[in-house]
């Protein structure tokens, strides 16, 4: 018991310290705090999940804080002893925040039991599939997910305490640094911090958790993909760099990278099922900072960084169940649309992302792609995201006239 008490007193001190640190209010909301639902906060490591939880819970009064990223606490199997001593430290409260809960053995069974005992649980974890699949199995209909990611553009602007109007260089800065809170708030070296975090996620959340023997395979896949953001990848290339011939194994490894919130893929729209193997999708990173820190490319294309910001914004909406989104390439490969967004009412929106459309050749290419695709999908919702222009204008291409909405990426990301 003394060991448990020592660990929990240390965590109590850590909690007091965290509550005194600067906190940027997040766009997410911790709903149903008083209801019999387990609240599950999901998102990348170090994205601010625990800060979000503790600063929200402090408004409700006392709550118990258990950090299962602590290897010493993970070793203790006596959950009843943990809860008993927690009440001695925190008082007689039913509110419990269990941070990085997926690290604790049989956490889903224990969570279920504690909820039945009347505890109001808030859980956090850094693995999307683990939390969603296992909670769905053990707590069907009794949990609600809340996603927390690195700072959005609006949160980033709040963190640097900008003055309105929106600074012209702010989007460029954000595109290059990403939104990891500690990098921004504590002025930590981006490359050093994110390289270490990236490698830690690979090791702890993938190699250790899934007991993968070919460590170099995951690292090679991740490094290749992070260096080719916004580009279609092929299993043939991945097989070559990993010496793994099984497409099923490669797919599983890609799933691990996605579940751990490092990378995600966007599928091509309306390809036949037999084409999936040859066209697995385009790859994006959950945060632009990773691209700057880990990409092997010497020149980081600002256009690709803009495109990645748009992809992350759409992915957040997809995870909330608001949309599905894809990219689209014509059958003859003559044009491509960056994002095809299908809303729940089946309305389709076509989006191009271009950093600089001052060059007429670039502008015409983007316009032609939107108009051609609009004919195919019979939609009039056409958007051209760019650095500096906001207007609506009609354009004609081979007798087809369409209105295109030009919108600054900075305003679109904050809507």
Domain ranges (residues) in the chain? 2-148, 167-312, 322-412
- Above 70 in pLDDT, residue 141? no
Residue 166's pLDDT is 77
Residue 226's pLDDT is 95
- Above 60 in pLDDT, residue 276? no
- Whether 397 and 368 have beta carbons less than 8 Å apart is answered as yes
Nearest to 262 by CA among 185, 203, 338, 176: 203
Residue 196's pLDDT is 95
Residue 325's pLDDT is 97
- Above 80 in pLDDT, residue 135? no
Contacts of 58 (CB under 8 A, 6+ apart): 19
- Above 80 in pLDDT, residue 361? yes
Residue 109's pLDDT is 85
| Res. 26 pLDDT band, cuts 50 70 90 | very high
Q: Which residue has the higher pLDDT, 60 or 261?
A: 261
Residue 306's pLDDT is 97
Let me know if domain 2-148 sits in CATH 2.60.40: no
- What confidence tens digit (pLDDT) does each residue in 85-109 have? 999 999 999 999 999 888 888 888 8
Residue 382's pLDDT is 98
- Whether 250 and 267 have beta carbons less than 8 Å apart is answered as no
Residue 162's pLDDT is 65
| Res. 397 pLDDT band, cuts 50 70 90 | confident
- Please measure the distance between the N-terminal and C-terminal CA atoms of the chain and give it in whole angstroms: 51
Q: Which residue has the higher pLDDT, 3 or 351?
A: 351
- What confidence tens digit (pLDDT) does each residue in 321-341 have? 999 999 999 988 899 999 999
- Above 60 in pLDDT, residue 298? no
Residue 81's pLDDT is 94
Could you give the strand order of the β-sheet that contains 348-353, starting from the edge strand earlier in sequence?
323-329, 336-343, 348-353, 382-386, 400-408, 391-397
- What confidence tens digit (pLDDT) does each residue in 342-354 have? 999 999 999 999 9
| Res. 144 pLDDT band, cuts 50 70 90 | confident
- What confidence tens digit (pLDDT) does each residue in 187-246 have? 899 999 999 999 999 998 899 888 998 888 999 999 999 999 999 998 999 999 999 999
- What is the pLDDT averaged over residues 15-27? 94
Contacts of 2 (CB under 8 A, 6+ apart): none
- What confidence tens digit (pLDDT) does each residue in 249-258 have? 999 999 999 9
* CA distances, 182 to each of 37, 48, 82, 117, 167 (Å): 31, 9, 30, 37, 22
Contacts of 407 (CB under 8 A, 6+ apart): 383, 384, 385, 386, 390
pTM of the model: 0.93
């Amino acid at each position: 018991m003394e060991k448990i008490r020592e660990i929990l007193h240390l965590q109590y001190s850590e909690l007091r310290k965290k509550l005194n640190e600067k906190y940027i209010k997040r766009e997410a909301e911790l709903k149903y705090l008083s209801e019999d639902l387990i609240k599950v906060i999901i998102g990348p490591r170090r994205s601010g999940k625990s800060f979000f939880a503790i600063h929200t819970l402090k408004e409700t009064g006392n709550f118990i804080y258990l950090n299962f990223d602590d290897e010493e606490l993970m070793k203790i199997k006596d959950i009843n002893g943990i809860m008993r001593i927690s009440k001695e430290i925190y008082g007689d409260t039913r509110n419990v925040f269990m941070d990085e809960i997926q690290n604790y053995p049989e956490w889903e069974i224990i969570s279920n039991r504690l909820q039945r005992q009347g505890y109001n649980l808030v859980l956090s974890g850094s693995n999307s599939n683990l939390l969603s699949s296992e909670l769905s199995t053990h707590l069907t209909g009794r949990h609600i997910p809340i996603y927390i990611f690195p700072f959005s553009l609006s949160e980033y602007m709040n963190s640097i305490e900008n003055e309105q109007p929106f600074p012209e260089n702010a989007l460029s800065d954000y595109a290059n640094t990403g939104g990891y809170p500690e990098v921004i708030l504590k002025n930590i070296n981006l490359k050093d911090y994110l390289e270490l975090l990236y490698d830690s996620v690979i090791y702890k959340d993938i190699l250790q958790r899934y007991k993968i023997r070919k460590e170099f395979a995951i690292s090679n896949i991740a490094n290749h993909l992070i260096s080719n953001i916004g580009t279609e990848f092929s299993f043939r290339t991945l097989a070559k760099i990993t010496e793994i011939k099984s497409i099923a194994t490669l797919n599983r490894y890609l799933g691990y990278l996605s579940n751990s919130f490092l990378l995600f893929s966007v599928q091509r729209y309306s390809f036949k099922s037999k084409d999936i193997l040859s066209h697995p999708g385009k790859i994006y990173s959950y945060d632009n900072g990773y691209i700057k820190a880990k990409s092997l490319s010497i020149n980081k294309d600002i256009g690709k960084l803009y495109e990645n910001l748009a992809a992350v914004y759409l992915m957040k909406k997809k995870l909330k169940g608001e949309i599905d989104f894809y990219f689209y390439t014509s059958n003859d490969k003559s044009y491509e649309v960056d994002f095809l967004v299908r809303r729940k009412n089946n309305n389709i929106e076509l989006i191009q992302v271009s950093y600089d459309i001052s060059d007429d050749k670039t502008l015409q290419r983007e316009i032609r792609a939107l108009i051609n695709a609009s004919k195919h999908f019979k939609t009039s919702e056409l958007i051209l995201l760019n650095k500096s222009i906001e207007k609506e204008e009609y354009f004609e291409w081979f007798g087809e006239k369409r209105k295109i909405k030009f919108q600054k990426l900075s305003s679109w990301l904050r809507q």
